[in-house]
Amino acid sequence: MNVGFIGLGRMGRPMASNLCRKGFRLLVNDVNPAAMDELALLQARPSGIAELAAGSDVIVTMLPNSAIVQDVLTMAEGVFAHARPGSIVLDMSTIDPEMTDALAAAAQARGLGFVDAPVGRLASHADRGESLFMVGGEPGHFERVKPLLEAMGTTIHHCGPVGAGTRTKLVNNFLAVASCQMNAEALSLSQRFGLNLERTLEVLYGTTAVNGQLKIAWPAKVLKGDVAPGFTIDLAHKDLSLIVEAANAARLPMPMAAAAREAFSAARARGYGGQDFSAMVDAACDQAGVAKARLSD
């Protein structure tokens, strides 16, 4: 199978690398030449988008936002204009679900398959080939892309028809991202009260207040002083915006999502946008004027 891979950022690069290591032939494209050079060391071939689309059975996109995905797929020298009929576009980006629906319809009109498979878990999981995928697409198209997903991850959920993967991702990310804001406020309150952080966490870990971010992710990241981005506050804010807008389009009120988005907006305004989204607790402590929450060595 010939694979084209567009988007070699923090998530895309290790995913494409894992495909190379598992024996797939890759054409790769990114706005950053150094990223393509890195993949060339694994026998991938750097390529323009038109050439990549024409030479691939599956074209993978892993891009930052809806506008970029739309541009890459629909521009004159883009994927749709040059992909062979019968090939499949596998979009792993997290974008507006209505954009996913529109792009899938445009792909079908050109005789192309379309599968949405946004990614769960973090960049560190992508490094190890342990990503989780939420997939939307026709059963036959899903079966064709499944070997790629298996090479990049360990958990694959076929959520339903095209668009179901993207919509499932928004539900998942609402809980994952909003819980960061709740945790941030809880721990900044603990800091204001002058409580011992280790003992506070002991209590929380033994009650229904606990969540995966607080118990698993944060002790390995911000609570030990590591705010290097696995998933940035900027990207979390983008996802919250997608969630609120998609909910508005579906006439569903989501006041907690809207409040969390504004909290992430405030963190970005304070310069935290490029840090890991667990650093929301640092932003909350900064705003409150209390010491950052850190576990003792």
102, 170, 248, 254, 258 from 251: Cα distances, Å: 19, 16, 5, 10, 14
Contacts of 240 (CB under 8 A, 6+ apart): 173, 174, 177, 178, 257, 260, 261, 264
Task: Note if 169 is an active site residue.
Answer: yes
37, 93, 172, 183, 190 from 176: Cα distances, Å: 34, 17, 6, 11, 21
d(CA 202, CA 218): 14
Question: Which residue in 22, 169, 224, 238 is the catalytic one?
Answer: 169
Tokens of 247: 């909910």
CA 10 to chain centre: 10
d(CA 30, CA 5): 9
- Nearest in space to 187 (alpha carbons), one of 215, 220, 160: 215
Cβ atoms within 10 Å of 255's Cβ, excluding its own: 8
Tokens of 169: 């991702």
DSSP letter for 84, please: P
Q: Which residues of 115-124 are buried (b: 16+ CB within 10 A; e: fewer)?
A: bbbbbbbbbe
Tokens of 117: 């498979």
Active site residues: 169
